[in-house]
Amino acid sequence: MRKIRIGTRGSRLAIWQTDFVVNKLLELDDSLDIEKVMIRTKGDRFLDVALSRIGDKGLFTKEIEKELLGGSIDMAVHSMKDMPTRITEGLAIGAVLPRENWKDVLLSREGRKLAALPVGASVGTSSLRRRAQLLAMRPDLNIVDLRGNIDTRIKRLLNGELDAIVLAAAGVIRLGYGELVAEELEFMPAVGQGAIMVEIRDDDRAIGELVAKLDDRSTRLAIAAERTFLAELEGGCQIPVGCLGNVQDEFLALEGLVSDLEGKRVFRSRLSGPADEAEDLGRKLARELISQGAGAILKEIRNQERDDE
């Protein structure tokens, strides 16, 4: 096989994930010649702007996908939760690796849990989903927008700027910060959270056959349901949405959440069915939440977006 060039963002977590994929490929064939290619994305450049202001459509993937389409790299490694719900034409999901810890975790000074944080405590997160769920439990908290890589966010906690921060457990554990975790939160996670995916050109048969060996079917189906759920809900607006699918014995259980921005109106529902009907289940769950009242929240946030333009 030819030399394989793998595109990745340059953050320490992105490189960890890419190295993980490289090692898995070498376990399949230790004669492979693999090179990592660092690519800077829009999300890496605009670290002083809230994610909700600049949008998340390919924020951490678009530049990498451009190189993939152009042939300068042969595959790309992404966090699954960074992927837009519609894959760019000419590209495909080559593999979804087995999902690791999908939870959000609270890191705090003095190891305080969420309930024990002082009134008005400053909690950092860049996620509207996390913000809404934090405020649903603790409406007194001061939520501070927190951008940057994991190392940068943790530094702001440790130097006293914040009382606590919320991050994805998978990234915290992968980078060796597990001892700083005060609590695993029972939040509904982001779509795809905890999973690594490999993106390829849809016409590259050799690469497709290689990376397909890394694919975990149960994780792929669970996340397919989650991504369909999100696609059914979104209309270009920034909304607090969470979803989690779990496949066992060809049976998929799916739970979803939609909230207003302040966590005052939170809609949750769940359903289950055959795993091979993953996308239909995602669509049905989204429509169920819309009928329960989540549709009104979506309309309000879209109207607010138009007013801000």
Q: What is the H or E stretch that residue 282 is in?
A: helix 278-289
pLDDT surpassing 60 at residue 9: yes
- 259 vs 307 pLDDT, higher one: 259
**pLDDT of 113 strictly over 60:** yes
pLDDT of residue 219 exceeding 90, the answer is yes
Q: pLDDT category, 50, cuts 50, 70, 90?
A: low
User: Encoding tokens for residue 123?
Assistant: 């909690």
pLDDT at 55 over 60: no
Task: Determine what percent of the chain is predicted with pLDDT higher than 70.
Answer: 92
**In the chain, what are the helix, strand and coil shares in percent, each to the nearest 5?**
45, 25, 35
**Whether residue 101 has pLDDT greater than 80:** yes
19 is catalytic: no
CATH number of the structural domain 1-97+195-215: 3.40.190.10
The one catalytic residue among 74, 82, 104, 204: 82
Average pLDDT of span 199-227: 97
Cα–Cα nearest to 75, from 94, 58, 98, 99: 94
**Whole-prediction pTM:** 0.92
Read off the tokens for 178.
């597990």
Question: Per-residue pLDDT averaged across 85-114, rounded?
Answer: 95
Angle between helices 12-28 and 150-158 (to 10 degrees): 140
pLDDT at 231: 94
Domains 1-97+195-215 and 104-185 share a fold: yes
Q: What is the pLDDT, as a whole number, of residue 249?
A: 94
- Grade residue 37 by pLDDT with cuts at 50, 70 and 90: very high
- pLDDT band at 149; cut points 50, 70, 90: confident
* Segments making up each domain of the chain, as ranges: 1-97+195-215, 104-185, 217-309
pLDDT, position 302: 77
Which tens digit of pLDDT belongs to each residue from 221-251? 999 999 999 999 975 568 899 999 999 999 9
pLDDT at 255: 98
Domain 104-185 has CATH 3.40.50.1100: no
pLDDT at 273: 98
Rounded average pLDDT over 136-162: 94
pLDDT at 258: 96
Mean of per-residue pLDDT scores for the chain: 91
Is 47's pLDDT higher than 60?
no
List, edge to edge, every strand of the sheet that includes 75-79: 34-38, 4-8, 75-79, 196-201, 91-96
H or E segment and range at residue 265: none
Higher per-residue confidence, 33 vs 2: 33
Average the pLDDT over 18-33 and give the result.
96
Which of the four CATH numbers 2.120.10.30, 3.40.50.10950, 3.30.160.40, 3.30.390.50 does domain 217-309 have? 3.30.160.40
Q: What is the pLDDT of residues 155-192, one digit of tens each?
A: 999 999 999 999 999 999 999 999 999 999 999 999 99
The CA distance from 97 to 199, in Å, is 12
Per-residue confidence band for 306, with pLDDT thresholds at 50, 70 and 90:
low
Residues of the chain with pLDDT > 90, as a percent, come to 82
Across the range 289-306, mean pLDDT stands at: 85
The band of 268, judged by pLDDT with boundaries at 50, 70 and 90, is: very high
